[in-house]
Structure 1
Amino acid sequence: MISESKFQMWRGTIALAQVDNHVSKEEKLWLDQHLKKIPFTKEQREILQNDFEKGIKLDDIFLNSLEPRERGMLVSFANTIFKRDGLAPEEEIVLSQLTGQIMGDLKVEELTSEVERMEEESHEEENIFKRLVTIITSLI
């Protein structure tokens, strides 16, 4: 089972795919690949299926109730989904509005610092891995 915030984020993601009133094969494939990995409850899966079949608008999702992480992911998903089949004019408008609405009250500096810190840690781990490979290779 996932949190309500994550569930609403995925409902929002389905709404994003429907913004231009056409869900392309690429968008459907992307959604299917991601949704099948999530441990939704039976009820949540039924709601998502209904959202996909009958349609859902982004306005139906309580974006302000999403945790900051899920809000950021929704913006990222919007970029990914919209660019799958080319950015339609209505998608561009929604992306701009969504970014402003979602990112408006987020502490961007804190998030940026956290991302930079995570990136530095990643590079450190990568360097350690490279050094280990070099050492092991030299022993062979």
Structure 2
Amino acid sequence: MTDQTQGQAQEMSDSRFHMWRAIFAMAHADSVVTNEERAFMYKILTEEPLSAIQRAQLERDISAPQSIPDMFAKITDPDDRSQFFYFARMLVWTDGDFGAQEQKILLELNKAHVKMTDMDSFTGDMAFELDEEDKMNILFDHTAVEEGAQGGLLGAFYRRFRKK
């Protein structure tokens, strides 16, 4: 985000701006922009911290359909991509009809979202190994050993730690 003088809102990031452009493009997915969808989009124009240039572009996007995949591809922040799906569903349900074309587009974009997600950064510092206490519980819990030795998760852990 760009810093502005004290007391003024910060300008929206480019990623978030393209999230809104992709959402506005979704309104055109079924080739009909309903009054409810327009009301949703105009509400965004009043509530989000848009620059004058961003606001003008989104106003044009209300009446001029954009490429949904192209706009979605410009959403660089994983949180913005995730929020796209939340807001896009809100938009397409405003008219009470989640059409087949809208469903197909959201499914394809969801696949793209998964491909674009860096799973290493997504999982962060998650620990995928057992701590020492869990290892000992698995090794010395005879019930778990007997039941798990043949298969399943406990069996895999048992075999893994038995080899050490």
Please indicate, yes or no, whether the TM-score normalized by the shorter chain is above 0.5: yes
Q: Do the aligned residues in 2 keep the contact of 1:2 with 1:39 (CA within 8 Å)?
A: yes
Aligned counterpart for 2:88 among listed residues 78, 84, 92:
78
Q: Does residue 34 of structure 1 match 2:44?
A: yes
Pick 1 or 2: higher relative contact order, CA cutoff 8 A, min separation 6. 1
1:55 Cα offset (Å): 1.9
Letter in 1 for 2:76: L
Query: Match for 2:105: what amino acid?
Result: V
Length, aligned pairs only: 112
Aligned to 1:4: 14
Distance in 1, matches of 2:41 and 2:28, equals 12
* 1:14 pairs with 2:1: no
Q: Is the 8 A contact 1:15 1:58 kept in 2?
A: yes
The answer to whether the 8 Å contact 1:64/1:102 transfers is: no
2:113 aligns with 102
Whose helix proportion is higher, 1 or 2?
A: 1
Q: Structure 1 11/78 Cα, relative in aligned 2: closer, same or farther at 3 Å?
A: same
Q: Where do 5+ consecutive residues of structure 2 fail to align?
A: 1-10, 127-164
Instruction: Indicate the structure (1 or 2) with the bigger Cα radius of gyration.
Output: 2
Offset at 1:7? Answer: 0.7
Gaps of 5+ in 1: 114-140
Percent same amino acid among aligned pairs?
A: 25
Deviations 1:37-78 (A, max 9, x none): 112111111111122222212133152542001000111112
Displacement of 1:36 after TM fit? 1.0
After superposing the two structures, state which structure 1 stretch, 75-84 or 53-62, moved more. Answer: 53-62
1 CA distance for matches of 2:12 and 2:42? Answer: 17
- Per-residue CA distance 1:67-124 (angstroms, 9 max, x = gap): 001000111112212222211111110011111111334349749x9xxxxxxxxxxx
**How many Å separate the matches in 1 of 2:67 and 2:75?**
16
| Separation of aligned partners in 1, 2:70 and 2:116 | 20
Q: Counterpart of 1:22 in 2: which secondary structure? A: coil
After superposition, where does 1:99-138 map in structure 2 within 5 Å? 99-106=110-117, 107=119, 110=123
With structure 2 as the length reference, what TM-score do the two structures score?
0.60
What's the TM-score, normalizing by structure 1?
0.70
SS at match of 1:21: coil
